[in-house]
């Protein structure tokens, strides 16, 4: 499968690292012009204090075959988002794909804490970063997107609607953010469908993001070493896998069939027939239910 997105313009909001970077690079590999946004640049860091930058992401997009354009934006600041969309309009006159992958809550959520034990400040900050940013960005960007039929809005979350309906996700704050983004995509679909546009939510599986690799003390080159401590990490995937899922849907002339649906990287891979960059095809959300949660030994047979 080779997606063709030449002449298309995309905005990946929250593309500094992780899934956002993977999606941006795969859109670039399909030939798109990709505006990549985030708070961390080579001269200014966000509270994460990490080395990844939006300039680096833009360079990866260009190296993959597209055109990467880095723009520093705090998506909680409405005037900055408004200016970003005005710039895209002035420079390209169009927006075909909007990916909302804005997050920033890895250092804010507390595992298995009821609302009265979880830090209130951190929880409310998480809601702002994970939901308010998406709404602000949609408010300013979608009017440009619907000027041409066929636009695609992608809301990136954690967990499919089916999985999250029956599973408590860490804390009330985290749970609300991740289920709220899925519902947000469904609600946008009701409005966008009237304009010939499509909205979906999508989740990666167990993501080998830069932060996750660091947490396990490994790199992408030797990530399998982490399975010695956490055997189920064998089902993990690179950020490029969900990127290929987004590119495949964006290049599908019949993408409107997905309007309002909750999708996963592994599920989309089965439909469009693509693999992760290492040739595997993990299906994390199926694996969690059928292998990990029942307490079975790690076994990716039939899942990759």
pLDDT band with cut points at 50, 70 and 90 for residue 1 = low
pLDDT at residue 304 tops 80:
no
Q: Map out the domains of the chain as residue ranges.
A: 9-207+239-279
**Closest of 286, 294, 298, 291 to residue 163, by C-alpha:** 286
pLDDT by residue (tens digit) across 169-206? 999 999 999 999 999 999 999 999 999 999 999 999 99
Terminal C-alpha separation, the chain: 17
Long-range contacts of 271-278 (CB under 8 A, 24+ apart): 272/1, 272/245, 272/248, 273/1, 274/1, 274/244, 274/245, 274/248, 276/237, 276/238, 276/240, 276/241, 276/244, 277/238, 277/240, 277/241, 278/238
pLDDT by residue (tens digit) across 86-137? 999 999 999 999 999 999 888 888 888 999 999 999 999 999 999 999 999 9
- So what's the pLDDT on residue 303? 60
Return the percentage of the chain with pLDDT > 70, whole number. Answer: 99
- So what's the pLDDT on residue 302? 66
Q: Averaged over 249-270, what is the pLDDT?
A: 97
- So what's the pLDDT on residue 168? 92
Residue 28 CA to residue 49 CA, distance in Å, equals 26
Residue 44 CA to residue 49 CA, distance in Å, equals 9
Q: Averaged over 231-249, what is the pLDDT?
A: 97
pLDDT at residue 138 tops 90:
yes
This prediction has a pTM of 0.96
Summary mean pLDDT of the chain:
95
pLDDT at residue 2 tops 80:
no
Residue 168 CA to residue 157 CA, distance in Å, equals 15
pLDDT at residue 82 tops 70:
yes
Residue 41 CA to residue 175 CA, distance in Å, equals 30
Q: Averaged over 207-232, what is the pLDDT?
A: 94
- So what's the pLDDT on residue 47? 83
DSSP H helices in the chain:
18-29, 54-64, 78-92, 120-127, 133-145, 161-165, 172-192, 210-215, 239-250, 265-272, 284-287
Hey, what CATH topology would domain 9-207+239-279 get?
Answer: Rossmann fold (3.40.50)
Residue 200 CA to residue 207 CA, distance in Å, equals 19
Specify the 3-state DSSP secondary structure of 261.
Answer: coil
pLDDT by residue (tens digit) across 205-214? 999 999 999 9
- So what's the pLDDT on residue 36? 98
């Amino acid at each position: 499968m080779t997606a063709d997105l030449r002449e298309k313009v995309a905005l990946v909001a929250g593309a500094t690292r992780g899934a956002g970077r993977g999606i941006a690079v795969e859109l670039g590999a399909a030939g798109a012009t990709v505006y990549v946004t985030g708070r961390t640049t080579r001269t200014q860091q966000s509270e994460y204090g990490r080395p990844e930058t939006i300039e680096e992401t833009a360079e990866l997009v260009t190296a993959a075959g597209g055109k990467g354009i880095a723009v520093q934006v705090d998506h909680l600041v409405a005037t900055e988002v408004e200016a970003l969309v005005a710039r895209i309009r002035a420079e390209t006159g169009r927006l075909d794909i909007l990916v909302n992958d804005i997050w920033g809550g890895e250092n804010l959520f507390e595992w298995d804490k009821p609302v009265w034990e979880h830090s209130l400040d951190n929880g409310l900050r998480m809601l702002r970063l994970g939901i308010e940013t998406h709404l602000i960005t949609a408010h300013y960007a979608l009017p440009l997107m619907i000027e041409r039929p066929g636009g695609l809005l992608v809301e990136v979350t954690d967990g499919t609607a089916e999985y999250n309906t029956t599973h408590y996700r860490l804390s009330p704050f985290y749970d609300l953010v991740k289920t709220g983004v899925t519902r947000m995509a469904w609600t946008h679909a009701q409005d966008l469908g009237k304009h010939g546009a499509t909205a979906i939510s999508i989740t990666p599986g167990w993501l080998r993001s830069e932060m996750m690799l660091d947490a396990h003390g490994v790199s992408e080159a030797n990530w399998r070493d982490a399975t010695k401590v956490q055997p189920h990490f064998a089902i993990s995937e690179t950020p490029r896998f969900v990127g290929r899922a987004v590119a495949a849907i964006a290049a599908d002339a019949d993408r409107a069939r997905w309007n309002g649906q909750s999708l996963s990287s592994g599920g989309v891979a089965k439909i469009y027939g693509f693999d992760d960059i290492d040739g595997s095809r993990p299906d994390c959300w199926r694996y969690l239910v059928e292998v990990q949660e029942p307490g079975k030994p790690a076994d990716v047979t039939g899942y990759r």
